[in-house]
Amino acid sequence: MRYLAGLFLALLTAVLLWKVLGPGPKPDPVPEGGFVSSQQCMDCHPKVYEEWSVSQHAQSWINPEVNALSNHFANTDCIDCHAPQDLFSTGVGKRALPRADRRAAGVDCLSCHRIPEEQGGGMAGTNTNLNAACRPQIRTELARVEFCGSCHNQHNTVDQWSASSFAIPGPGFKDCRDCHMPLRTGPGESGRSHLFHGGHNIELVRSAVALRAERASNEPTRIAIEVENHGAGHAYPTDERSRASDVFWRPTPEDPEAEGGWRHLYRIRDPYRSEVDIPRTLIDAGETLELDLEAEETGGPVQVALFYKLTPYYRDPATGIARPLEEVHDPETDARLVWRVEVPAP
Ligand code: HEC
Ligand code: HEC
Ligand code: HEC
Ligand code: HEC
Ligand code: HEC
């Protein structure tokens, strides 16, 4: 009897020990044919998938602006980063190369995470001891700025960051992920946001800059304006090709509903390679642009405003032709207001 009870106890202990210390539940099997599309990630990573699918990364092939400028990718140079091969195949930090399949998915899960079989296969992650169907492997390159740089240094964003104080190790250090992939804070939602907010998100743009306008006390018609880039980890606005930001002003309209009346004061932009006579006027990280405004109407109350443009030019809605900036009096129809400051009469 005692012998049997001992045997039973030993068995029970073994079973319990196996439960606690043995391998966890078996991972779901790898789908037949391997991982070949981002849809396959949806069931197990629903939050990431949902965020990514509304991000610009998911639009990069179908984006109408990109299609217009690349002539629907007849300019094949544009395929490289807008439908890239998996970065772990081309090499993290190396410039992206064009891929032939699943182009409509743009910059998808596989472009960033899939590891080729020669390097062990599975998906690149940064956590230890994960046992899952997608076979996560630790690849710390995923968390480096060079990873984003494979596509984002075309227009110098990574170089601008490297020259900023955000790149200095210490308490002020912030990398691309800290600002563009913030840690999720919702209950039970660990990991980093895949929304990748950028210029399309006006709240993020607002967090980049401050606008100040003040009347000089000794010269009542002179208004001193400052635009400070305190929140972007690179130049404001980054990306030479598509973005511009403009400072406008107007005498405070008596009828606030009245149309127009804005006057262009200054353009903040990095000219694209075809724009030869335009100077680079970007505000580097941590820098402040100082402007002076003095005109006949600046003796009374004045409004100063900063606008952000996703496409560089203000176009005539009828002809589509770019309007000279001095003829633009209605920036709000084509650009988004970042900040507006009221300067009262002296
Ligand atoms: C080396 C990588 C790379 C290549 C090559 C490339 N792009 Fe891009 N493109 C990007 C990145 C990264 C962004 C987004 C970041 C930014 O705005 O700086 C972008 C953004 C854009 C945007 C802005 C989209 C929007 O909705 O705001 C347009 C338009 C665009 N690209 C057109 C093109 C065209 C046209 C070509 C070919 C002549 C091209 N790109 C080639 C990387 C690339
Ligand atoms: C059958 C379920 C399943 C599928 C399908 C799946 N995964 Fe996973 N994956 C998991 C689980 C479970 C983990 C580990 C826990 C976690 O991070 O959620 C994981 C972890 C990861 C990690 C590592 C996270 C880290 O913190 O290091 C990455 C990256 C990843 N998956 C990417 C993908 C991608 C990309 C796809 C689609 C091509 C995919 N997974 C498909 C279940 C799945
Ligand atoms: C532009 C590149 C890029 C794309 C596209 C992308 N990821 Fe990520 N992903 C990252 C980076 C970078 C991290 C963060 C690594 C770190 O800091 O730990 C990450 C983290 C993750 C993690 C870890 C857990 C979390 O939520 O942070 C999972 C899982 C994951 N990605 C799955 C996916 C899936 C699924 C898709 C497609 C729906 C996808 N990723 C698309 C770059 C990307
Ligand atoms: C494989 C190429 C590639 C990689 C790697 C990549 N991106 Fe992008 N990213 C793009 C392209 C292309 C776009 C523009 C898509 C469009 O608007 O058509 C873009 C757009 C963006 C935007 C702009 C969103 C907006 O509102 O205009 C942000 C922010 C961004 N990426 C951040 C990152 C960060 C941070 C990383 C690194 C973790 C990263 N990307 C890695 C190709 C890439
Ligand atoms: C300290 C926070 C911070 C850091 C660090 C940072 N960014 Fe940004 N980023 C911003 C803000 C704020 C904006 C919006 C204003 C602007 O365009 O400059 C922005 C805009 C962008 C855009 C959108 C440009 C567009 O055309 O829509 C891209 C792409 C981008 N960042 C990529 C990166 C990459 C890549 C890195 C890492 C090398 C990085 N950022 C580091 C805060 C940051």
CA pseudo-torsion sign 335, 339, 344, 346: negative
Distance spanning both ends of the chain, measured CA to CA: 103
13: amino acid identity, one letter = T
CB neighbours (10 Å) of residue 132?
14
For residue 188, the CA-to-ligand 5 centroid distance in Å is: 27
The finding on whether 70 has its CB within 6 A of some atom of ligand 2 is: no
Substitution site in 151, 157, 282 for ligand 5 pocket (most atoms within 8 Å of beta carbon): 157
Average of per-residue pLDDT across 134-145: 95
Residues 16-25 as b/e (b if ≥16 CB within 10 A, e otherwise) read eeeeeeeeee
Q: Report which of residues 2 and 212 the model is more confident about.
A: 212
Peptide bond into 237 cis (omega under 30): yes
Average of per-residue pLDDT across 12-28: 55
The atom of ligand 1 lying closest to the CA of 310 is 27
For residue 194, the CA-to-ligand 3 centroid distance in Å is: 7
Whether residue 182 contacts residue 266, with contact meaning beta carbons closer than 8 Å, is answered with no
d(CA 328, CA 260): 9
Q: Is the pLDDT of residue 32 over 80?
A: no
The finding on whether 41 has its CB within 6 A of some atom of ligand 2 is: yes
d(CA 127, CA 131): 11
Angle at the Cα of 307 from the Cα atoms of 303 and 310, rounded to 5 degrees: 170
Q: Is the pLDDT of residue 99 over 80?
A: yes
Q: So what's the pLDDT on residue 278? A: 82
Q: Count how many Cα atoms sit within 13 Å of the Cα of residue 227 in the half-sphere of its side chain.
A: 32
Average of per-residue pLDDT across 15-26: 52
Q: What is the mean pLDDT of the chain?
A: 90
C-alpha pair distances (Å), 239 with each of 151, 258, 314: 12, 34, 17
Substitution site in 241, 272, 308, 313 for ligand 1 pocket (most atoms within 8 Å of beta carbon): 241
Q: So what's the pLDDT on residue 241? A: 77
Going along the chain from its start, the domains and CATH numbers come out as 38-180 (no CATH), 202-343 (2.60.40)
Average of per-residue pLDDT across 290-301: 92
Q: So what's the pLDDT on residue 201? A: 97
d(CA 15, CA 9): 10
Q: So what's the pLDDT on residue 12? A: 58
Most confident of 142-156, 197-211, 212-226, 247-261: 197-211
264: amino acid identity, one letter = H
Q: Report which of residues 321 and 12 the model is more confident about.
A: 321
> Which ligand places an atom closest to the C-alpha of 147?
4
Least confident of 18-32, 150-164, 230-244: 18-32
Whether residue 276 contacts residue 219, with contact meaning beta carbons closer than 8 Å, is answered with no
> Which ligand places an atom closest to the C-alpha of 175?
5
Q: Is the pLDDT of residue 19 over 60?
A: no
Q: So what's the pLDDT on residue 20? A: 47
> Which ligand places an atom closest to the C-alpha of 133?
2
CA-proximal residue: ligand 2, atom 8 (nearest): 134
Residues 6+ positions from 74 with CB-CB distance below 8 Å? none
User: Can you tell me which residue has the tokens 């069931």?
Assistant: 43
Report pLDDT digits (tens) over 266-282: 999 998 877 778 889 99
d(CA 197, CA 190): 18
Q: Give Rg (Cα) of the chain.
A: 27
For residue 204, the CA-to-ligand 2 centroid distance in Å is: 28
Band of pLDDT at residue 30, cut at 50, 70 and 90: confident
Q: So what's the pLDDT on residue 15? A: 54
Q: So what's the pLDDT on residue 11? A: 60
Least confident of 41-45, 124-128, 196-200, 232-236: 124-128
Whether residue 246 contacts residue 325, with contact meaning beta carbons closer than 8 Å, is answered with yes
Q: Is the pLDDT of residue 82 over 50?
A: yes
d(CA 73, CA 44): 33
The atom of ligand 2 lying closest to the CA of 41 is 37
Q: Is the pLDDT of residue 146 over 60?
A: yes
d(CA 140, CA 147): 10
Q: So what's the pLDDT on residue 320? A: 87
The finding on whether 158 has its CB within 6 A of some atom of ligand 3 is: no
> Which ligand places an atom closest to the C-alpha of 75?
1
Substitution site in 45, 112, 129, 190 for ligand 2 pocket (most atoms within 8 Å of beta carbon): 45
The finding on whether 151 has its CB within 6 A of some atom of ligand 4 is: yes
Substitution site in 55, 57, 69 for ligand 1 pocket (most atoms within 8 Å of beta carbon): 69
Band of pLDDT at residue 31, cut at 50, 70 and 90: confident
Q: So what's the pLDDT on residue 128? A: 76
Q: Report which of residues 254 and 226 the model is more confident about.
A: 226
Q: Quick one: tokens of 335?
A: 């650009």
The atom of ligand 2 lying closest to the CA of 114 is 35
For residue 3, the CA-to-ligand 3 centroid distance in Å is: 56
